[in-house]
Amino acid sequence: MRFETRAIHEGQKPDPVTGSVITPVYQTSTFEQDAIGVHRGYEYSRTGNPTRAALEEAVASLEGGEYGLAFASGQAATTAVLSLLKTGDHVVAGDDLYGGTWRLFERVFKKWGLETSYADVDDANAFEKAIRPNTKLIWVESPTNPLLKIVDIENLSTVASKNQLLLVVDNTFASPYFQRPLELGADIVVHSTTKYLGGHSDIIGGALVTSRKRVHEVLKYYQNAAGSVPGPWDSWLVLRGVKTLAIRMREHEKNATFLAEFLEVHPKVSKVYYPGLPSSEYHLLARKQMSGFSGMISIELAGGLPGVERFVSRLEVFTLAESLGGVESLVCHPARMTHSSIGERERRRRGISDNLVRLSVGIENKEDLREDLERALGEV
Ligand SMILES: *Cc1c(COP(=O)(O)O)cnc(C)c1O
């Protein structure tokens, strides 16, 4: 079956007990056992819950993977992956990363003795050069946050398998509709389901998908042992979002392409970061490994911080808020919002200037979005 059909049906058969067409919210902490140690597949909702299981099966299918696991947040999913490692291990991570992922590496796991170095995602050899005898894992996002760089996943998977490392790809920005890292050779896919998979800005959640049985077993053990699982209600909301992922992603992309073309020639905009633009240095690679360019655009405004402040305050349809991937358009200032935790010097080094503004393009009417940007740019 094809993507759109799997999004609606995979893991979501009518309820075997009542025939309910929609997977019920199994709002229960525990399950009756027929005799001591004899149960019907579920014992306790931290270990497993049918609503969560439906979500896990659906997301695994969309990523083209064997096994899915749902978590209470994207960060909980990331923490689960890092639990595969031990003190003294080393990670090579791409140098353009979600600020919270960087914070986990540097402020949480470093003191447990996990070392991380950061490779320039624009340099094909940087990852290989950063590998040490104790390296266990490569971690990248593509497209990256917030500069929307594209990383060659197939290339990295060759480096990873040659050196017997796990390749982990955070696929949050592309969603499985536009990119399936496992098919490009990645070992584990990470999602913040808070974003496009949920799609409606109403829950916090995360997911992991892998086709490696042993890796899945360790992650599943961790999921139950550490317990950062989503509740049935949140799982249900993500599952509901997933059903419309394909049509939402097509609209996000259509609107983003339209706005990126408008912004590219606007005199108040000094740079547009969008891999869908033919002028983007990442365009050809994006075409190769993705089937579309998603709905995230970053721009640099002429006019410095005061210009940025005027711009965001004049927007009416775009809402100033962190997060992305919902049906509504959002605007954020990475330097002082999503990426403030990485510090000014490190931000400068990575090219996250105070002029940078990130847009999560929603699925409103594209002319309303263009008019909103045009009006606000007039004030920059
Ligand atoms: C939001 C986000 C995360 C973190 O997910 P939460 O659900 O907020 O914990 C991780 N990676 C990327 C790329 C994100 O955008």
pLDDT for 342 beyond 80: no
Say whether both 196 and 291 belong to one domain. Answer: no
What is the per-residue pLDDT across 278-326, written as a single tens digit (0 to 9) for each?
Answer: 999 999 999 999 999 999 999 999 888 999 999 999 999 999 999 999 9
Rounded to the nearest whole angstrom, what is the distance from the C-alpha of residue 375 to the centroid of ligand 1?
30
Say whether both 105 and 162 belong to one domain. Answer: yes
Rounded to the nearest whole angstrom, what is the distance from the C-alpha of residue 97 to the centroid of ligand 1?
10
> Which residue from 59, 96, 98 has its CB within 8 A of the most atoms of ligand 1, so it is best to mutate?
98
Cα dist from 371 to 115, 176, 375, whole Å:
47, 31, 6
Say whether both 141 and 44 belong to one domain. Answer: yes
Mean pLDDT, residues 357-366: 98
Rounded to the nearest whole angstrom, what is the distance from the C-alpha of residue 238 to the centroid of ligand 1?
15
> From the CB of 149, is ligand 1 less than 6 Å away?
no
> From the CB of 102, is ligand 1 less than 6 Å away?
no
> From the CB of 135, is ligand 1 less than 6 Å away?
no
The range of the structural domain enclosing residue 348 comes to 245-377
Rounded to the nearest whole angstrom, what is the distance from the C-alpha of residue 40 to the centroid of ligand 1?
34
pLDDT of residue 351: 87
What is the per-residue pLDDT across 193-250, written as a single tens digit (0 to 9) for each?
Answer: 999 999 999 999 999 999 999 999 999 999 999 999 999 999 999 999 999 999 999 9
Q: What average pLDDT is seen over the chain?
A: 96
pLDDT for 270 beyond 80: yes
Q: What is the DSSP string of 299-320?
A: EEETTHHHHHHHHHHH-SSSEE
Work out how many domains the chain is built from and give that number.
2
Atom of ligand 1 nearest to the CA of 78: 10
CATH of residue 151: 3.40.640.10
Domain boundary pick from 222, 243, 264: 243
Across the strands, what pairs with 230?
none
Say whether both 316 and 276 belong to one domain. Answer: yes
pLDDT of residue 360: 98
What is the per-residue pLDDT across 58-67, written as a single tens digit (0 to 9) for each?
Answer: 999 999 999 9
Report the alpha-carbon distance of residue 171 to residue 223 in Å, rounded: 20
* Catalytic sites, residue numbers: 46, 98, 170, 195
pLDDT for 344 beyond 90: no
Report the alpha-carbon distance of residue 104 to residue 100 in Å, rounded: 6
